[in-house]
Amino acid sequence: MAGKKAVVLGAASKDNMGQTIARLFAREGAEVMVAGRKEEPLKALATEIGGHYALCDITKRAEVRAMADAAVAKMGRVDAAINASGWGLLASLVDTTEEQLDQIVDLQFKGVHHFLQAFVEKMIAQQPSGGSLISISSATTRAVINNHAAYIGTKTGSEALIRCVANDYGHYGIKANTVSPAFTESPMTEQSFAVPGLVDAFLPRYPLGRLNTSEDVANACLWLCTDEAFLTGQNIQPNGGLTLRGNPQASDIERSVGAAMAKLQGGS
């Protein structure tokens, strides 16, 4: 990645997936701009990796376009742009409110459209270099899990946008791919990992014997942004084979958590 210029959106929470991606790209020689909604963690990360930062709410088209403009102004061009924003809304279809639906559509569908639109335009303008676009999706679009209808629906929509970009703009040298982690230990899932028995419900579903990490996701993104990655319009699954066996369902999780709680209570 030496000499390449990258933008990582969704890197405003300490040690989240976006920050992990940004750190890896910087270690591999890229100049990186990190972006998101909270200035202090972005500023600290930019200082740490010797890069830049920009405030940006992906749901606001003007802010996304301003971020893309700032990236080109500060770095000269953009070779890679990764969208790592998301909201793991846990709610059944019948319990999801209209307000929640509007929020997740704005974030995980319209926002992705804003992101792709802004950076496709930049990459067309910087011909003949092209570039690589990545949106982080989820293994749940292929391995459905309960009570995530709005989440899965919008993530699936974002994957369709990626395929369309790959098809429509490949002749400009623009690659567009999706990276889909599964249940990942991160600040977003910290509370879930604290629930006794929850991880035990998921582990048997991974043929490679462990949950995927943010580092696994970052490594997939890194490779996709190298010149050696000759693919576009694909959905890469760095999740240890989860999609072969599928996610546990609500009843599986209830049994696992119940057994762990009973064991803890018996021990006490």
Residues 197-216: tens digit of each pLDDT: 889 999 999 999 999 999 99
Helix (H, G, I), strand (E, B) or coil at 102: helix
What is the C-alpha to C-alpha distance for residues 183 and 76, in angstroms, rounded to an integer?
36
pLDDT of residue 189: 67
- Among candidates 43, 111, 34, 119, which has minimal Cα distance to 77? 119
Domain membership of residue 268 (yes or no) is no
Backbone angles phi, psi at 81, to 5 degrees: -135, 125
Domain membership of residue 203 (yes or no) is no
- Among candidates 225, 236, 253, 186, which has minimal Cα distance to 17? 186
H helix runs in the chain, sequence order: 17-27, 39-49, 61-75, 98-105, 111-125, 149-169, 190-193, 198-202, 214-224, 242-245, 250-267
Determine the Cα angle at 146 with ends 145 and 148, to 5°.
85
- Cis previous bond, 238, omega within 30: no
pTM of the full structure: 0.94
**Domain membership of residue 45 as a residue range:** 5-190+211-245
- The predicted-structure confidence for 155-185, as pLDDT tens digits, reads as follows 999 999 999 999 999 999 999 999 999 998 7
- The predicted-structure confidence for 32-64, as pLDDT tens digits, reads as follows 999 999 999 999 999 999 999 999 999 999 999
pLDDT of residue 210: 93
Name, in order, each residue with C-beta under 8 angstroms of 78's C-beta and a sequence gap of 6 or more: 5, 6, 7, 68, 71, 72, 119, 122, 123, 126, 131
Domain membership of residue 255 (yes or no) is no
pLDDT of residue 205: 95
User: DSSP secondary-structure letter at 116?
Assistant: H
User: Chain-wide mean pLDDT for the chain?
Assistant: 95
Domain membership of residue 259 (yes or no) is no
Give the count of domains, the chain: 1
Strands 80-83 and 52-55: what pairing? unpaired
Domain membership of residue 198 (yes or no) is no
pLDDT of residue 266: 77
Backbone angles phi, psi at 190, to 5 degrees: -55, -45
pLDDT of residue 187: 65
Domain membership of residue 136 (yes or no) is yes
Domain membership of residue 142 (yes or no) is yes
Domain membership of residue 114 (yes or no) is yes
Q: What is the CATH number of the domain that holds 175?
A: 3.40.50.720
